[in-house]
Every structure is written in structure tokens, then in C-alpha cells.
Amino acid sequence: MQTWKRGALWSLAAIALLAVAASGKSLLGQSSGDASRPAAPAVNKSWPEVNLNVVVLDKHDVPQEIDEQKFQLFEDGSERPLEFRAAADSPMSIALLIDTSGSMYKRKPAILSVVTEIVKSLPAGSEVMAVQFDDQSFLDLPFTDASKIDYSFLNEIYRGGTALFDTVVATENYFAAHARCTKRAIVLLSDGGDNTSHVPMRAAIQSLLWPGAPTFYSFVFSDSHAAFGQKLLDKRDMQELAKAGGGVAFTATETDLVSNTARFVSVIRSQYVLTFAAADPARNSKARKLEVRLPDKDLQIHALRVYYAPAQ
């Protein structure tokens, strides 16, 4: 039974602001190329071991089964020895970020459909957390065994603005501290259109770049009331977040919702986890470039392209 009540929850928006305060001006003032002050979570339990979640698709976006021995990983241009930590049926830690702002009101049935389909498809032993957000963000479901979820947490009222970037930053910090599986994903269900966050988009992107970070996926629901140009900008933001987080963006419309949900389920189950030891074990907050290679050059490899070493 669901016993975690919203009235007694932490506000994740407040946690996001604490993250800003803890890193000085780094979240608000640095450029995306500044590697000296990363906005990554402080929790790095396995360092210098790094777990990298990877998705491989063909040119038609169909997940591919790959012989693990064919993967090559390069950190700052040097190949690193690999181990493999998660098969297709390995349990996952997954976070659902659900936009409950006013513009998403008519999408409530679709959200329920997508969420239930994702959860019921997860491998045995998986855990799920859920954050719902409007102009504030709330941890409405802490990490819970996927087989024991009470979906009543989805019965929230849809209203207010959209603190999307604050929510991403706060969720990444919570995820880093509490997730137990090496196979990891965050799924954002929103129409985009952030209009109330205290941090910019670049802070949200930087919060995705830490050792062991989950793959980031976006489910884009178009805002029927937004102008055409605004829809394009909102969709672009959602796509940029997914790309930066090593994942894929999906478009969710009424006509293709079922097929895109099924496609997403197959993609998320196909994730690999490549494990390697960082070449430099120093806790120096510096950016480390990553490249995953396979012999077949026609395949799409989705993974982080950079991560930040933990700080002292």
C-alpha cells in the first residue's frame, strides 16, 4: 500500500536550491564548457570504478543485441579494459519525472498508460522512484520495488508552471545517493517549456554527467496551446537533455503512443552496462571524455560522451 503522502514529502525544488548553494555560483554562472566546477552529484560510491550505461540501435532505431566482447571504450583517447555488469534481464533503478503542470492536464490518461507499461515491463528486482513537478518538484514515490507500486501517486492535480530544470538537478542528486542497481535510467514525461526553474538548462545538463549516471530518456508530449515556434523550442530542449544524458527522445502523440511506448520499453531493456576503472583516480572535478566503439559503424551508440570526476 502507498503510505508516502505528498503532504509529508521533501520538496525537491528546495533540494535543487541547496545544490546551487552547495556549489557556490557554479550552477548559475559557469558555461557548459567549464570543467572546473561541475554540477554533478557529490555521491560517487564506487569511484574510481565507473559504470557506463549504453544503448545500441540500428539505423531504424531498433535495439541491437551485441557481443559484449566487441565493445571498446576510450577515456580521453586511451582504451580502457572493460567488464560487463548487466545483462538484458538485470534489475534496473529507474526514475520517472512526470510533468503535472497545467499544460499537461489533458495528457493525464496517456501518462498513466505510459508509466504502467514501463513499470510492468521492468525485469524482476527492479526499483522505481517518481518525481512529479509543476512549479515545484515532489518525491511522490521513493525507490520502491517495481512489483509493489501503488499507482495512486499519479492522482495529482495538474496545475501551475514548469520547473523542469530544477527537477532534473534535484532528481540526479537523489538518484546518485539512493539507487542500488548499476543498470539505470531516468524517464522525463513532459511537453518541455520550462518557465519557473531557478537554474538554467546548462545546469540540468551538467547534473547528468557523473560516474554511474543513469541513461536519460525524454517522452515529448506536444503542448496543443503553444505556438508552433515554441513547440519546436520545447521539443529541442527535451531532445538536448536526452542526447546529453546518453539516451533517446521519443515523441508521444495520441496516434503513436502505444507503439512508441512499446519501442521505448524494448530500448530500455536492451541497455548494457560497461564497467571500467578511471585512468586517473584523482578526485579533481575534471571532465573526462568518453567514446564507445563497435566494429559495425552503421550502429547508433548512445552513452555519455563526457563525465566529471568527483570532487574532493
Cα 27 to Cα 165: distance, rounded to the nearest angstrom: 11
Tally of CB atoms within 10 A around 216: 29
- Whole-number CA gyration radius for the chain: 18
pLDDT at position 256 is 83
In DSSP notation, 160-181 reads: S---HHHHHHHHHHHHHHH---
Reply yes or no: is the peptide bond before residue 63 cis, omega within 30 of 0: no
The C-alpha cell 548499476 sits at: 182
Give residue 112's pLDDT.
Answer: 94
How far is Cα 205 from Cα 215, in angstroms, rounded to an integer? 12
176: Cα within 13 Å, side-chain hemisphere: 24
* CA dist., res. 107 & res. 191, Å (int): 10
pLDDT given at position 45: 79
| Beta carbons of 139 and 172 less than 8 angstroms apart | no
Strand, coil or helix: 280: coil
- The string of DSSP codes covering 234-277 is HHHHHHHHHHHTT--EEE--TTTHHHHHHHHHHHHHT-EEEEEE
Residue 254: which residues within 8 A CB-CB, separation 6 or more? 110
How would CATH label the architecture of 6-308?
3-Layer(aba) Sandwich (3.40)
Give the DSSP letter of residue 123. P
- Point out which residues pair with 273 in neighbouring strands: 53, 86
Q: What is d(CA 36, CA 163) in angstroms, rounded to the nearest whole number? A: 26
What are residue 287's DSSP bridge partners? 308
pLDDT at 234: 82
Of 56, 51, 57, nearest in space to 85 by CA: 51
Given this model, what pLDDT does residue 221 score? 87
Cβ neighbours of residue 2 closer than 8 Å, sequence gap 6 or more: 141, 149, 150, 152, 153
How many Å apart are CA 103 and CA 277, to the nearest integer? 44
**pLDDT value of residue 231:** 74
Residues in the chain: 312
* Residue linked to cell 523542469: 164
**Verdict on whether the full-model pTM lies above 0.85:** yes
Q: Tens-digit pLDDT profile for the chain (312 aa)?
A: 344 444 333 455 455 444 444 443 322 233 333 333 445 676 777 899 999 999 999 999 999 999 999 999 999 999 999 999 887 789 999 999 999 999 899 999 999 999 999 999 999 999 999 999 999 999 999 999 999 999 999 998 899 999 999 999 999 999 999 999 999 999 999 999 899 999 999 999 999 999 999 999 999 987 666 666 777 888 899 999 999 999 999 987 777 888 889 999 999 999 999 999 999 999 999 999 999 999 999 999 999 999 999 998
Tell me the torsion sign for CA atoms 177, 179, 185, 190.
Answer: negative
